[in-house]
Amino acid sequence: MDQIVRKNVLVTGADGFIGSHLVEALVAEGYKVKALSQYNSFNNWGWIENVNCKDKIEILTGDIRDPHYCKFITKGIDMIFHLAALIAIPYSYIAPGSYVDTNIKGTLNICQAAKENGNIRIIHTSTSEVYGTAQYVPIDENHPIQAQSPYSATKIAADAMAMSFYNAFNLPITIARPFNTYGPRQSARAVIPTIITQIANGAKEIKLGDVTPTRDFNYVEDTCRGFIALAECDESIGQTVNIGSNFEISIGDTLNLIKELMDSDVKFITDKQRIRPEKSEVFRLWCDNSKIKKLTGFKPQVDIKEGLQKTIDWITQPNNLKKYKSEIYNV
Task: Verify that 151 and 210 share a domain, yes or no.
Answer: no
For 159-194, the pLDDT digits (tens) are: 999 999 999 999 999 999 999 999 999 998 899 999
Same-domain pairing of 162 and 273: no
Does residue 61 share a domain with residue 109? yes
Residue 126 placed within a domain: yes
In this prediction, residue 2 carries a pLDDT of: 46
Q: What pLDDT score does 330 carry?
A: 63
Is there a single domain that holds both residue 174 and residue 271? no
Same domain, 77 and 13: yes
Task: Give 186-225 pLDDT, tens digit per residue.
Answer: 998 899 999 999 999 998 888 787 889 999 999 999 999 9
The tally of domains found in the chain comes to 2
135 and 229 fall within a common domain: yes
Q: With respect to residue 279, please indicate whether it lies within any of the assigned structural domains.
A: yes
Q: Are residues 193 and 133 in the same domain?
A: no
The answer on 177 and 157 residing in a single domain is yes
| Same domain as 53, residue 164 | yes
In order of 2, 109, 136, 141, 193, the CA distances from 8 in angstroms are 12, 19, 40, 30, 33
Residue 4 predicted with pLDDT over 50: no
* Residue 294 falls inside a structural domain: no
Q: What percent of the chain has pLDDT over 90?
A: 86
- Specify if 293 maps to a domain: no
pLDDT in the model for residue 1: 45
pLDDT (mean) for 291-319: 97
Same domain, 20 and 127: yes
- State what percent of residues in the chain have pLDDT above 70: 97
**Model confidence at 128: pLDDT above 80:** yes
Per residue in 12-70, pLDDT (tens digit) is 999 999 999 999 999 999 999 999 999 999 999 999 999 999 999 999 999 999 999 99
Shared domain for 177 and 252, answered yes or no, is no
Average pLDDT over residues 291-313: 98
Q: Tell me the CATH number at 202.
A: 3.90.25.10
307 lies in which domain range?
187-215+248-283+303-321
pLDDT band with cut points at 50, 70 and 90 for residue 120 = very high
- My answer on whether 173 and 317 are in the same domain is no
192 burial type by CB count under 10 A (0-12 exposed, 13-18 middle, 19+ buried): buried
Averaged over 99-114, what is the pLDDT? 98
* pLDDT at 7 (0 to 100): 86
pTM of the shown model = 0.95
Question: What CATH number has the domain bearing residue 99?
Answer: 3.40.50.720
Digit-coded pLDDT (tens) for 220-279: 999 999 999 999 999 999 999 999 999 999 999 999 999 999 999 999 887 777 777 778
Q: Please tell me the predicted confidence (pLDDT) of residue 188.
A: 85
